[in-house]
Amino acid sequence: MKRFVETAGFIVFVQGAAGLLYEWTGWFRLWTVVAGLEFLRDHGLLVSIVLVVAGGALMIAADSVRA
Protein backbone atom coordinates (compact mmCIF):
# COMPACT_ATOMS: atom_id res chain seq x y z
CA MET A 1 0.00 0.00 0.00
CA LYS A 2 2.87 2.35 0.79
CA ARG A 3 4.32 1.88 -2.69
CA PHE A 4 0.92 2.63 -4.28
CA VAL A 5 0.52 5.88 -2.32
CA GLU A 6 4.06 6.95 -3.24
CA THR A 7 3.42 6.21 -6.92
CA ALA A 8 0.09 8.04 -6.90
CA GLY A 9 1.74 11.04 -5.22
CA PHE A 10 4.53 11.06 -7.79
CA ILE A 11 2.08 10.93 -10.70
CA VAL A 12 0.00 13.78 -9.24
CA PHE A 13 3.18 15.81 -8.61
CA VAL A 14 4.40 15.28 -12.19
CA GLN A 15 1.00 16.28 -13.58
CA GLY A 16 1.14 19.48 -11.58
CA ALA A 17 4.70 20.27 -12.64
CA ALA A 18 3.89 19.58 -16.30
CA GLY A 19 0.79 21.78 -15.95
CA LEU A 20 2.92 24.62 -14.61
CA LEU A 21 5.38 24.22 -17.49
CA TYR A 22 2.48 24.26 -19.93
CA GLU A 23 1.04 27.42 -18.40
CA TRP A 24 4.40 29.21 -18.44
CA THR A 25 5.91 27.97 -21.72
CA GLY A 26 3.20 26.26 -23.75
CA TRP A 27 5.06 22.91 -23.74
CA PHE A 28 3.83 19.51 -22.49
CA ARG A 29 0.23 19.94 -23.63
CA LEU A 30 -0.19 16.22 -24.32
CA TRP A 31 1.16 15.22 -20.90
CA THR A 32 -1.09 17.39 -18.78
CA VAL A 33 -4.56 16.57 -17.51
CA VAL A 34 -5.30 20.23 -16.87
CA ALA A 35 -4.78 21.26 -20.50
CA GLY A 36 -6.92 18.38 -21.75
CA LEU A 37 -10.02 19.11 -19.67
CA GLU A 38 -12.06 22.02 -20.96
CA PHE A 39 -13.56 23.08 -17.62
CA LEU A 40 -10.09 23.39 -16.00
CA ARG A 41 -8.45 25.52 -18.69
CA ASP A 42 -9.48 28.84 -17.17
CA HIS A 43 -7.95 27.87 -13.83
CA GLY A 44 -4.93 25.96 -15.13
CA LEU A 45 -2.31 27.70 -13.01
CA LEU A 46 -4.22 27.30 -9.76
CA VAL A 47 -5.08 23.65 -10.46
CA SER A 48 -1.45 22.89 -11.31
CA ILE A 49 -0.24 24.43 -8.06
CA VAL A 50 -2.81 22.40 -6.13
CA LEU A 51 -1.65 19.22 -7.92
CA VAL A 52 1.99 19.90 -7.02
CA VAL A 53 1.13 20.47 -3.36
CA ALA A 54 -1.21 17.46 -3.21
CA GLY A 55 1.38 15.21 -4.86
CA GLY A 56 4.02 16.33 -2.41
CA ALA A 57 1.65 15.74 0.48
CA LEU A 58 0.84 12.24 -0.76
CA MET A 59 4.50 11.34 -1.03
CA ILE A 60 5.15 12.64 2.48
CA ALA A 61 2.06 10.86 3.83
CA ALA A 62 3.23 7.57 2.35
CA ASP A 63 5.73 7.31 5.21
CA SER A 64 2.91 7.02 7.71
CA VAL A 65 1.14 4.22 5.82
CA ARG A 66 1.87 0.79 7.16
CA ALA A 67 3.01 -1.92 4.78
- Report whether 52 contacts 13 (CB < 8 A): yes
Q: What is the pLDDT of residues 34-62, one digit of tens each?
A: 877 888 778 888 999 999 999 999 999 99
- Considering the chain, what is the average pLDDT of its residues? 88
CA–centroid distance for 6 within its chain:
13
Task: Give the pTM.
Answer: 0.85
Phi/psi of residue 48, each to 5°? -65, -40
Domain spans of the chain, in order of start: 2-64
**Cβ count within 10 A of residue 64:** 8
